[in-house]
Chains A and B, each alone.
Chain A
Amino acid sequence: MTMVQQMITIAICVLGTMATRFLPFMIFSGKRETPKYIQYLGKALPSAIFGMLVVYCLKNVSISSGAHGIPEGIAILVTVSLHMWKRQMLLSIAGGTVCYMLLVQLVF
């Protein structure tokens, strides 16, 4: 690939990304009221998105090979337990991450 082709490739990545980020705001932010269906989606989607993002983070975990997802499972359990106990976001995240690092470096 030439330098110009590389720059075009990067520009296309930027354009495509920005299209997905700006499109909803361009379509639904005029003076007209946002359609009821879109308002409903705006409220219903976030919980679904967060569920999806958790799975997205774990997409490369394989139950049938490697460590069988055991370190991930334990670390998530620790994260959730810490959070239910103290309800301190940073503590839960740090605790879960340290637990995971110890597990993959020392145990599995």
Chain B
Amino acid sequence: MNAQGMRRKALRAAFPHTIPIFTGFWFLGLAYGIYMNVSGFSFWYPMLMSLTIFGGSLEFLAVSMLLSPFAPVQTLVVTLMIQARHLFYGISMLDKYRGMGWKRFYLIFGMCDESFSINYTAEIPEDVDKGWFMFWVTLLNQFYWVSGSTLGGVLGSLIAFDTEGLDFVMTAMFVVIFLEQWLKEKKHYTALIGMGAAVACRLGFGADSFMVPTMVCILLLLTLGRKPIEKAGGLV
């Protein structure tokens, strides 16, 4: 097969995996663009931020940062706290993103929650190039996000929302990915650790500041429980 055929084949394999994300990202992206528009920013702000940051929760938060007095250090601290979960994604992807050549840079650059989740769990057919598959997943996802937020920024408050509840598509997707992973593994120690730690920290620290404590708890429990977890062979 020639190079073009290989790329096209990978695109055809990748696209169906991104359909839920198209729905979710267009909805959330539109909402984000509209939010920026009504906050007084031109459409190229959400476009530029979606292209360069490509992280929904931080981009939403950045709107209020941009409307507040200039505070670079605080901005950096908040950014690192919100985005710290990428460290976990990176550690999990060390092997899968190895030897991807120039694509590797973009794969890491565009490693949002959704692209990581699909690229980690998707069962890529033997005859499809893994590098191109993951590249397309990442690129399509970013395209959905950038186009959605730009459109929202252009149209602004002209759009009327009768799509209440559509954002649940993201929750449903993560539920399904979690379930798939659950069905694949023999023991569920780490899944339960992740969910349990997050629930406990959400109750203890509140909705806005529970992620960093959650990650610390997960790291601690996985480290302390390494022997029994490895011994039980509960890892895929």
**The one of A15, A21, A44, A55 that contacts B202, using a Cβ cutoff of 8 Å:** A55
Given the interface contacts A13-B58, A72-B171, A96-B175, does A45 sit within 8 Å of B88 by beta carbon? Answer: yes
**Is A47 in contact with B164, judged by CB distance below 8 angstroms?**
no
Chief secondary structure at chain B's binding surface? helix
**How far apart sit A100 and B203, CA to CA, in the bound complex (Å)?**
24
Chain B 147-167 per-residue mask, 1 if CB under 8 angstroms from chain A, else 0? 000000000000000011110
B115 to chain A, nearest CB (A): 11
CA distance in complex: A44, B197 (Å): 14
Inter-subunit contact A55/B199 (CB<8 Å)? yes
Which chain A residues in 49-99 approach chain B with CB under 8 Å? 49-60, 71-72, 75-76, 79-80, 83-84, 89-90, 92-94, 96-97
Chain A: minimal CB distance from B189 (Å): 8
Q: A20-B83, A104-B164 are in contact. Are A93 and B235 (CB under 8 A)?
A: no
> Which stretch, B6-14, B65-73, B128-136, touches the partner chain A?
B65-73
> Per-residue 0/1 for A25-51: is the Cβ within 8 Å of any B Cβ (1 yes, 0 no)?
100110000100110111111111111
Contacts of B72 in A (CB 8 A): 8-9, 12
Asked if A100 and B174 make an inter-chain contact with CB atoms under 8 angstroms apart, the answer reads no
Q: Is the CB of B190 within 8 A of A80?
A: no
Task: Flag if A90 contacts B191 (CB, 8 Å).
Answer: no
Whose C-beta in chain A lies nearest to the C-beta of B113?
Answer: A53
B108 touches A25 (CB 8 A): yes
Q: In the docked arrangement, what's the CA distance between A20 and B172, Å?
A: 26
Q: Is the CB of B188 within 8 A of A47?
A: yes
Q: How far is the CB of B77 from chain A (nearest CB, A)?
A: 9
Which residues of the other chain, A, contact B179 by a CB distance below 8 angstroms? 80, 83-84
| Docked CA distance A48–B166 (Å) | 26
Q: How far is the CA of A41 from the CA of B98 in the complex (A)?
A: 17
Q: Is the interface of A mostly helix, strand, loop or mixed?
A: helix
A71 to B167, CA, bound (A): 13
Q: Does B53 contact A (CB under 8 A)?
A: yes
| Contact A25-B94, Cβ < 8 Å, known A17-B53, A53-B117, A56-B211 | yes
- Render B112-150 as a binary contact track against A, CB cut-off 8 A, 1 for contact: 010001001100000000000000000000000000000
Contact partner of A9 among B70, B91, B166, B185, CB < 8 A?
B70
Contact among A14, A25, A104 with B53 in the assembled complex (CB-CB below 8 Å): A14
Given A12-B76, A16-B83: A51 touches B194 (CB 8 Å cut-off): yes
A-B contact pairs, 16 of them (CB 8 A): A1-B70, A12-B76, A13-B79, A21-B109, A24-B91, A25-B97, A45-B92, A47-B191, A48-B190, A51-B192, A52-B197, A54-B175, A75-B171, A80-B175, A90-B16, A97-B166
A residues with CB within 8 A of B: 1-2, 5-6, 8-10, 12-25, 28-29, 34, 37-38, 40-60, 71-72, 75-76, 79-80, 83-84, 89-90, 92-94, 96-97, 100-101, 103-105
A46-B120, A51-B195 given; 12 more Cβ-contact pairs under 8 Å: A13-B49, A13-B62, A17-B83, A37-B226, A44-B235, A47-B182, A47-B190, A48-B193, A49-B88, A52-B211, A76-B171, A92-B176
